[in-house]
């Protein structure tokens, strides 16, 4: 298959007063061209840090990144900042979680869209403004000519997120990273934004990484999913297979916590406990303090991510002998 993005053995350390804390550990995944990959997990699982690492937007003073992020074979972690600026916003674009803090409050929406177009293309200012208008219309913003002249604070949350999508699409990226793009929106607007992204993705044949804590979004939008916990991937699978037959106890817990619209009503099954702090990881499997199936081995040894013969990956001793076709990652 044609891999657009390959993340290999990514490690991210943050500095604090006592030294370095590892927040991403030996993270590896691939994204096939034209695929939608969901990265899911609770808050504190490392999803946003992963996306910022791919975009090389982590603060250089406080974060150390190791490993490889190969975009069409080119390692984004080793290219110059000047070259990265030509890739970021052009070939690889990002929709951030909170548009009000991501948009510049002192510039009009039109200027913020045209800025990206002028930076990465040879269009004139007039041509860039015309394209900005087309993008706002594509993103379903009514009275688009007027919105171009307005500032972010004059728009609703849903409108601001549509402007963010327009900025991300301005240079026709090959890869779009969406970091919790609907979190701050009400459910009706969430559905509109997701439909918009789905339609645009099909029109433009983009690859998408959807970062979310919402498995409902994953089931509706993604082709494949990677489940993260404490900076590690604990399971990867095609979406339908994951929901039909989750392997890792953490994935099972996330799915069981979803409300159901059909069948008998019942209590939601919450996962007991909290995601541990990055500086206070438990011994052995990091999920073992919250896992009902944990054994003494789980409390003593750290499981590796294994690839099973059907291509799925899981980090759990329960599946160590599942089949003979498995391989190990991170050894």
Number of H helices, E strands in the chain: 12, 13
Q: Using CA atoms, how far apart are residues 45 and 160, in angstroms rounded to an integer?
A: 27
Q: Report residue 1's pLDDT band, with 50, 70 and 90 as the boundaries.
A: low
What are 63's strand-pairing partners? 14
Reported as type and span, the H/E element at residue 58 is none
Weakest mean pLDDT among 26-30, 190-194, 262-266, 320-324: 320-324
What are 20's strand-pairing partners? 15
Q: Using CA atoms, how far apart are residues 69 and 62, in angstroms rounded to an integer?
A: 19
pLDDT digits (tens, 9 = 90+) for 279-316: 899 999 999 999 999 999 999 999 999 999 889 999 99
Q: Report residue 126's pLDDT band, with 50, 70 and 90 as the boundaries.
A: very high
- Pairing label, strands 232-238, 313-314: antiparallel
Q: What's the pLDDT score for residue 155?
A: 92
Check: CB of residue 154 under 8 Å from CB of residue 186. no
Q: What's the pLDDT score for residue 34?
A: 93
Q: What's the pLDDT score for residue 32?
A: 95
pLDDT of residue 29 exceeding 90: yes
pLDDT digits (tens, 9 = 90+) for 185-236: 788 888 888 888 899 898 888 999 999 988 989 998 999 999 999 999 999 9
Q: What's the pLDDT score for residue 234?
A: 97
Q: Report residue 326's pLDDT band, with 50, 70 and 90 as the boundaries.
A: very low
- Arithmetic mean of pLDDT over the chain: 90
* Helix, strand, coil percentages in the chain from 3-state DSSP, rounded to 5: 35, 25, 40
Q: Using CA atoms, how far apart are residues 3 and 10, in angstroms rounded to an integer?
A: 17
What Cα–Cα distance (Å) separates residue 289 from each residue in 85, 222, 276, 285, 315? 43, 30, 9, 9, 15
Rounded to the nearest 5°, which phi and psi values hold at 147? -65, -30
Average pLDDT over residues 169-173: 90
Q: Report residue 327's pLDDT band, with 50, 70 and 90 as the boundaries.
A: very low
**Residue with tokens 């982590």, as numbered in its chain:** 58
pLDDT digits (tens, 9 = 90+) for 252-286: 999 988 877 665 666 678 898 999 998 899 999 99
Q: What's the pLDDT score for residue 330?
A: 43
Q: How many residues does the chain have?
A: 331
Q: Report residue 17's pLDDT band, with 50, 70 and 90 as the boundaries.
A: confident
pLDDT of residue 329 exceeding 60: no
Nearest to 54 by CA among 99, 87, 17, 7: 7
Q: Is 153 exposed, middle or buried (0-12, 13-18, 19+ CB in 10 A)?
A: exposed
In what order do the strands lie in the sheet containing 92-95? 92-95, 175-179, 207-212, 36-40, 224-229, 232-238, 313-314, 305-307, 327-329
Q: Which two tokens stand for residue 81?
A: 């900042």
Weakest mean pLDDT among 108-112, 180-184, 263-267: 263-267
Q: Which residues contact 324 (CB under 8 A, 6 or more apart)?
A: 309
pTM of the predicted model as reported, rounded to 2 decimal places: 0.91
């Amino acid at each position: 298959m044609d891999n657009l993005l390959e993340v290999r053995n990514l490690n991210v350390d943050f500095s604090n007063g006592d030294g370095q804390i590892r927040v991403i550990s030996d993270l590896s995944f691939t994204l096939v061209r034209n695929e939608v990959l969901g990265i899911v997990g609770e808050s504190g699982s490392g999803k946003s840090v992963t996306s910022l690492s791919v975009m090389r937007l982590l603060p250089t003073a406080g974060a150390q990144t190791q490993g490889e992020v190969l975009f069409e074979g080119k390692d984004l972690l080793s290219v110059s900042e000047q070259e990265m600026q030509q890739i970021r916003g052009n070939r690889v674009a990002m929709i951030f979680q909170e548009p009000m803090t991501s948009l510049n409050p002192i510039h009009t929406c039109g200027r913020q869209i045209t800025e990206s177009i002028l930076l990465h293309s040879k269009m004139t200012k007039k041509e860039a403004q015309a394209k900005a208008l087309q993008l706002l219309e594509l993103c379903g913003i009514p009275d688009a000519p007027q919105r171009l002249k307005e500032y972010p604070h004059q728009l609703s949350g849903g409108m601001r997120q549509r402007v963010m999508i327009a900025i991300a699409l301005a240079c026709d990226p090959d890869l779009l990273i969406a970091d919790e793009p609907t979190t701050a929106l009400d459910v009706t607007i969430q559905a509109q934004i997701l439909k918009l992204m789905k339609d645009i993705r099909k029109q433009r044949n983009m690859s998408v990484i959807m970062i979310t804590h919402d498995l409902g979004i994953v089931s509706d939008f993604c082709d494949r999913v990677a489940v993260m916990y404490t900076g590690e991937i604990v399971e990867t699978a095609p979406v339908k297979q994951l929901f039909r037959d989750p392997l890792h106890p953490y994935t099972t817990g996330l799915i069981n916590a979803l409300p159901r619209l059909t069948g008998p009503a019942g209590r939601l099954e919450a996962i007991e406990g909290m995601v541990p702090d990055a500086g206070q990881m438990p011994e052995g499997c990091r999920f073992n303090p919250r896992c009902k199936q944990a054994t003494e081995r789980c409390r003593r040894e750290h499981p590796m991510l294994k690839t099973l013969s059907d291509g799925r990956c899981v980090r759990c001793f329960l599946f160590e002998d599942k089949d003979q076709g498995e391989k190990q990652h991170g050894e």
